[in-house]
Structure 1
Amino acid sequence: MVDNGNSPKPTSLTMDLLGDFDRTGGREIRLKALVALGEELDISGPVMRVTLARLRERGWFDVRREGRESIYRFTPTALQALDEGRRKIFREPLAPWDGEWSMVIYTVPESDRQTRDELRKKLSWLGFGPLAPATWVCPHPRLDEIANAAATLPNARLALLTTRTTGLPADRAMAAQCWELEEIAADYATFVRWLRTRLDEYRSPALDAGTALAERVRLVNTYRHAVQRDPQLPAELQPPGWTGDEAHRLFVRAHDALAAAATPYAEAAVPQ
């Protein structure tokens, strides 16, 4: 992990483990397999059981019994969250920007802080930034996505618009206002420096399967924290020296390098 003074929480690592390796979402996963995979990440059996119980309370799993074994399957809620995460992490190349902004103006009762916080999290995750406290913008056509995300928040009222500024200088000024681009760039630069020191190790044929699995999950976890604030700006709006694209290329290269050992190991532990 990038040394930021904090170790990833078991829940965070478990979500990245599940999201990175169970891409079909259709398989059932035995508890003993999840515990075994968690041990590769230094998550003890008791901690993994508590973590899975908490994720189940959040609606991530349906659980059935087979004899004395517990068998887990993702719920639609979990599959949607994992799909959203994968799209942001393993992003596709952006289409040429047409100069249009998606704009969301919302109202939430002053007393409902939970809804307001949840809506802001959804907006941020989808690449929106705050132009004003209740007005958020995004340089991508994502109004349908935020409408679907906000459908679970009945106290939120949204006005959804597509708009343009007076031109590219105004666009760049708005991007600089809506996102902490210098901080995001610094996160990416730290990630790039850290990852460059690890690539040779990831490519080594001597890397054992369990270590490869653990390193791949930690790689995803580290990159996810670097990318989660990134609105994935079009090239026209990126500040000079932007390192986000380089970070993504290195991440994909490292992720692929670990696949030869890590993927078969996980597939054997969690068979189709």
Structure 2
Amino acid sequence: MADLHTPRSLIVTLYGAYGRTTSNTPLPVAELIRLLNAVGVDAPSVRSSVSRLKRRGLLVPARTASGAAGYALSQDARQLLDDGDRRIYAHPSPPLRDGWVLAVFSVPEAERHKRHLLRSRLSRLGFGTAAPGVWIAPAALYDETRHTLERLELAPYVDLFRGEHLGFAATRESVARWWDLEAIARLHLDFLAQHEPVLRAWESRTGEPDAEAAYRDYLTALDSWRRLPYADPGLPEELLPKDWPGGRAAEVFGLLHARLRDAGAEFVRGGPSGS
């Protein structure tokens, strides 16, 4: 699958990487334009994407300490990003004994549009389909699932359960039905094809890293990676095929994060004049 860094996605990635503070300080519009220009997004696209994110309730207009116009994360957006951190930066492979979370839903025909939304959101959270109206995921995804369903006002249609698989098919065979493991593996391989050469190039460099280059390579790697822990829910290792590429993909992202994140922060803090 092609790796498409859309302006809207890059803005969300930017806020996730560098835009969260305890005081939720807004990013000035001029800074958003500068920082997105460094990864190839022009000013009109930034403004258009910010407007869409504002309409979706993820960004809220706010003034900076100097009085400049800017945007801060909404409370829902902060919860979304905080939930995402546990996947993006940890991406654990839980032991099989941790069990599963089941989402069982029923939506009245008069509200069938919510049925589509439910399926879409559960899929984006990494759930697999065990049966019509019955979705399954590793138990570690319970908290994020609950937050998501409550935020979207879908909780009244869903019952959540924790449990273990008691049969009758072997669980390894079952997960191959519940998830498209071949498609997930291709996503990991695509990530490796695009970003492992970037890691090798940085590992061969000596001296202090260039802050703008570090920022650019980190932001695009994070923008690619942050989708993968949602497509791949983090299944127990013993249920995955041999030579599963997810471990290596997570390792490559982890090494890029360790090498580039803080170096890129220097460019974010630098401002238009580099001061």
Same fold (TM > 0.5): yes
Partner Cα distance (1:159, 1:110) in 2: 18
Q: 2:99–2:138: 8 Å Cα contact kept in structure 1?
A: yes
Please say if 1:27 is aligned against 2:29.
no
Q: How many residues align?
A: 267
Q: Partners of 2:141 and 2:44 in 1: how far apart? A: 41
Matched residue type, 2:69: S
User: In the alignment, does 2:13 pair up with 1:16?
Assistant: yes
Q: 2:99 and 2:34 mapped to 1: Cα distance? A: 48
One-letter amino acid of the counterpart of residue 188, structure 2 = Y
Q: Could you report, residue by residue, the CA deviation over 1:58-82 in whole angstroms, capped at 9, with x for unpaired residues?
A: 1122213468731222110110121
Say yes or no: does 1:247 pair with 2:244.
no
Segment drifting more, 232-241 vs 17-26: 17-26
Partner of 1:121: 120
Post-superposition Cα deviations, 1:213-252, rounded to whole Å, max 9, x if no partner, equal: 1211111112223333101001121122111111101111
| Cα 1:187/1:85, change in 2 over 3 Å | same
Are the equivalent residues in 1 in contact too, given 2:101–2:137 (CA < 8 A)?
Answer: yes
CA contact (8 A) 2:94 2:235 kept: no
The Cα shift of 1:5 comes to 4.7
SS in structure 2 at match of 1:147: helix
Any idea what the Cα deviations from partners look like across 1:15-53, whole Å, max 9, x if unmatched? 111111124362221111111111101111122111111
- How much has 1:201 moved relative to structure 2? 2.4
Q: Distance in 2 between matches of 1:74 and 1:42?
A: 23
Q: For residue 180 of structure 1, what is the aligned residue in structure 2?
A: 180
Q: Pick which of 40-49 and 151-160 moved more.
A: 151-160
Aligned position for 1:132: 131
Instruction: Note closer, same or farther for the CA distance 1:165–1:155 as it changes in structure 2 (3 Å cut).
Output: closer
Structure 1: any 5+ residue segments left out of the alignment? none
Post-superposition offset of 1:155: 7.8
Query: Residue 109 of structure 1 contacts residue 155 of structure 1 at CA under 8 Å; is this kept in 2?
Result: no
- TM-aligned CA deviation for residue 262 of structure 1: 0.8
Which residue does the alignment assign to 1:105? Answer: 104
Once the two structures are TM-superposed, the CA of residue 269 in structure 1 deviates from its matched residue by 3.5
Give, in angstroms, the shift of residue 141 of structure 1. 4.1
State the Cα distance separating 1:176 from its structure 2 match: 0.7
8 Å contact 1:201–1:207 — kept in the other structure? no
C-alpha contact 2:11 2:36 (8 A) present in aligned 1? yes
Q: Determine the structure 2 residue equivalent to 1:150.
A: 149
Instruction: Specify the code of the residue in structure 1 equivalent to 2:13.
Output: D
User: Deviation of residue 208 (structure 1)?
Assistant: 2.8
Superposed counterparts of 1:157-176, under 5 Å: 157-166=157-166, 170-176=170-176
C-alpha contact (below 8 Å) 1:116/1:156 kept by paired residues: no
Per the alignment, residue 54 of structure 1 pairs with: 52
Give 1:207 deviation, angstroms. 5.3
Specify whether residues 27 and 183 from structure 1 end up closer, same or farther in structure 2 by C-alpha distance, changes over 3 A only.
Answer: same
- CA change 1:86–1:9 in 2 (3 A) is same
Question: For structure 2, which runs of at least 5 residues remain unmatched after alignment?
Answer: none
Q: Calculate the TM-score normalised by the size of structure 1.
A: 0.87
Q: Match of 2:178, as an amino acid? A: C
TM-score, L = length of structure 2 = 0.86
